[in-house]
Amino acid sequence: MPPLLSVAGSESIKRLAASTAPLEKLNINLRAAQDVLLQTRGIKFPSDRRSPVIHLYIASSAAAAEKQGLLTVPEPTYFSGKPSSSEAARFAAEEKILQRIVDRALAQGVMITRARRLKGQENPEPRPSIRLTISAAMTLEDVQQSCRIVKGCAETVLGEEGLL
């Protein structure tokens, strides 16, 4: 590990030992985000509930997903080995839909991104997802408003795609 990262990690541990307030604030923000996102139709997030990094996946019905050429595989969100050509095509279809959600959210002032992957080089191969990061520095109102915008964008795009 580079010395800079070692020092940063060590200082973070010292600060958390002195005060757990940032972790408590982060947990409040995480619960607020999850309260909104769990109510969002057409998406799911299997991320650990304690993680400030939340991955959102398309969770459509098998019939709607098949019609759109999307993946219908439930958990896990990874595939062992390299995806087949049909899975790769479905990955691409999901990525396009997720990018539309990201673009709508960005237009409304919410910075989210699709998770970037090394396609064909990761084993297991993860499904496409949107990545949100929650911070203790965010106000509760900012978290709730941002997640409501993401919820609205996701439901709008997935509705337009016939995935709700």
Hey, what amino acid is at 51?
S
Q: Does the structure show a pLDDT above 70 at 38?
A: yes
Q: What is the pLDDT of residue 70?
A: 62
Phi, psi for 24 (deg, rounded to 5): -65, -45
Rounded CA separation 55/43 (Å): 10
pLDDT at 146: 97
- CATH number where 84 lies: 3.90.1150.10
List C-alpha distances in Å: 117 to 37, 50, 78, 120. 23, 23, 12, 9
pLDDT band at residue 163 under the 50/70/90 scheme: confident
- Torsion sign across C-alpha atoms 104, 145, 148, 36: positive
Residue 11 pLDDT grade (very low, low, confident, very high; cuts 50, 70, 90)? very high
Judge whether 124 and 78 are in contact, CB under 8 Å: yes
Which amino acid does the sequence have at 127?
A: R
- Each residue's pLDDT tens digit, 41-75: 999 888 888 899 999 998 865 555 666 666 554 44
Q: For residue 105, give Cα distances in angstroms to 97, 98, 149.
A: 13, 11, 6
pLDDT at 78: 54
Average pLDDT, the chain: 85
Residue 84 has pLDDT above 70, yes or no: no
Q: Quote the domain boundaries for residue 77.
A: 3-160
Q: Does 131 have pLDDT greater than 70? A: yes
Q: Domain total for the chain?
A: 1
- pLDDT higher than threshold 60 for residue 149: yes
Query: How many CB atoms sit inside 10 A of residue 79's CB?
Result: 18
